[in-house]
């Protein structure tokens, strides 16, 4: 079937000088007779008059002799290279807080459980613009999963997961095959990790609790304004307006908090737990992303690798 022609093509044919049948047929074969009359290329629509498939998509290419661009996807990846971990992190659930005695020293620690952590997909530079590993945590009944996601898990060959999350990695070497399960021994004893999670939600909180405002006096004529935030902006000289970003009462907590450089004190594949030093934000049961520390050499230090207990 012939491709559809522009709507006015018949009109243009009728306006052509029709001396005889032969010339009409010749004219019909001329390209401009059947092309749309709207200009698609030329000076007005860009300098290059090359057909679109020969025209370079972007001009500031490295091979064009110009310096490498300082903005854009490639430049962004290059910029973040140093802070992108080589390996993927893992997903875990916060189970609680306790303590561990290392030598004579008591260290507060957080117990995180890795429940059925599997690699679900790999994001590639060619297709997605970055390297990343998509991990799933937990299990979900198929009846509680939507049909599109069921198709996704079917294609990946993994069971439906409760949570999905991506971990960016520096290069292609950081990618893992789909379907691999990660266990707590993904982390070495004594290594440093960062833990990202959502903090406990406080609900709607006033200025004193949310931003540590001082509040107001209990007496000296104060009337029903003991915990209010007071004034929110300058007077007429200052514009009579509230500046953007003014700290005010509002929803507090339930925001992403990263705790950096936590030491791995214990890993146990059988229980599926990773014990890290210190505290991780969020209530018990919240999902925590643990990954190799970015601001410190994540490898365990010889001096600090004391047996964390077994």
Partner 1 sequence: MMLQPVRRPLGPLKSLLRRNRQAQQFVARSMATETTPTETAASSIPPPISTLAAAKKPTKFHVIPSKTPGKPIRTAFAVYAPPPSARAAHPNPLISYHAQQIRRLDRTGARTALFSKKNPDAAKPGDVLQVTTNRGEPFAGVCLSIKRAGVDTAILLRNHLTKVGVEMWYKIYSPNVLGIEIIWRRPKRARRARLYFMRKPRHDMGNVEHLVEAWRRSRNVFSSNKGRGTQGKGKGKGGKGSK
Chain positions contacting partner 1, by CB under 8 A? 1-2, 28-29, 34, 93, 95-96, 98-101, 103-104, 106, 111, 113-116, 118, 138-139, 142-143, 147, 150-151, 153-155, 157-160, 176-183, 185-186, 268, 270-273, 275, 309-310
Which residues, including other chains, have CB under 8 Å from residue 152's CB and lie 6 or more apart? Answer: none
Residue 277 has a CB neighbour count (10 Å cut-off) of: 19
- We find the least distance from the C-beta atom of residue 142 to partner 1, in angstroms, to be 4
Rounded (5°) CA angle 162-166-171: 150
- We find the least distance from the C-beta atom of residue 232 to partner 1, in angstroms, to be 42
- We find the least distance from the C-beta atom of residue 262 to partner 1, in angstroms, to be 16
Of 36 and 96, which has the nearer Cβ to partner 1? 96
- We find the least distance from the C-beta atom of residue 242 to partner 1, in angstroms, to be 46
User: Rounded to whole angstroms, how far apart are CA atoms 63 and 15?
Assistant: 49
User: Rounded to whole angstroms, how far apart are CA atoms 310 and 308?
Assistant: 7
Q: Is beta strand 118-123 parallel, antiparallel or unpaired with respect to 105-113?
A: unpaired
Of 153 and 207, which has the nearer Cβ to partner 1? 153
Q: What is the DSSP letter of 299?
A: S
- We find the least distance from the C-beta atom of residue 268 to partner 1, in angstroms, to be 8
- We find the least distance from the C-beta atom of residue 28 to partner 1, in angstroms, to be 7
The distance in angstroms from the start CA to the end CA of the chain is 75
* DSSP annotation string for 217-250: -SSTT--S-SS-----S--GGGTSSPPTT---SE
Of 28 and 76, which has the nearer Cβ to partner 1? 28
Of 179 and 239, which has the nearer Cβ to partner 1? 179
* DSSP annotation string for 87-113: S--EEEEEEEEEEEEETTEEEEEEEEE
Of 121 and 293, which has the nearer Cβ to partner 1? 121
HSE value, Cβ hemisphere, 13 Å, CA-based, for 248: 9
Of 185 and 255, which has the nearer Cβ to partner 1? 185
């Amino acid at each position: 079937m012939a491709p559809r022609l522009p709507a006015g093509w018949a009109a243009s044919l009728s306006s052509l000088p029709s001396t005889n049948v032969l010339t009409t047929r010749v004219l019909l074969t001329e390209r401009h007779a059947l092309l749309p009359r709207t200009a698609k290329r030329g000076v007005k629509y860009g300098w290059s008059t090359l057909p679109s498939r020969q025209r370079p998509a972007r001009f500031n290419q490295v091979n064009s002799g110009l310096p490498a661009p300082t903005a854009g996807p490639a430049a962004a990846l290059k910029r973040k290279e140093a802070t992108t971990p080589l390996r993927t992190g893992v997903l875990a659930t916060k189970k609680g807080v306790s303590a561990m005695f290392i030598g004579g020293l008591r260290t507060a620690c957080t117990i995180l459980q890795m429940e059925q952590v599997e690699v679900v997909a790999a994001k590639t530079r060619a297709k997605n613009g970055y390297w990343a590993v998509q991990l799933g945590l937990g299990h979900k009944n198929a009846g509680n999963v939507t049909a599109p996601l069921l198709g996704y898990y079917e294609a990946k060959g993994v069971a439906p997961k409760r949570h999905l999350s991506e971990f960016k990695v520096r290069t292609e070497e950081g990618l893992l095959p789909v379907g691999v399960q990660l266990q707590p021994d993904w982390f070495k004893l004594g290594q440093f990790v960062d833990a990202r999670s959502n903090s406990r939600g406080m609900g709607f909180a006033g200025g004193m609790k949310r931003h540590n405002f001082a509040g107001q006096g209990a007496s000296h004529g104060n009337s029903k304004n003991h915990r209010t935030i007071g004034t929110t902006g300058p007077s007429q000289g200052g514009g009579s307006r509230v500046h953007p970003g003014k700290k005010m009462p509002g929803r507090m907590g339930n925001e992403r908090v990263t705790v950096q450089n936590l030491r791995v004190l214990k890993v146990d594949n059988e229980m599926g737990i990773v014990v890290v030093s210190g505290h991780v934000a969020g209530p018990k049961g919240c999902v925590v992303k643990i990954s190799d520390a970015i601001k410190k050499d994540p490898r365990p230090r010889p001096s600090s690798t004391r047996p964390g207990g077994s």
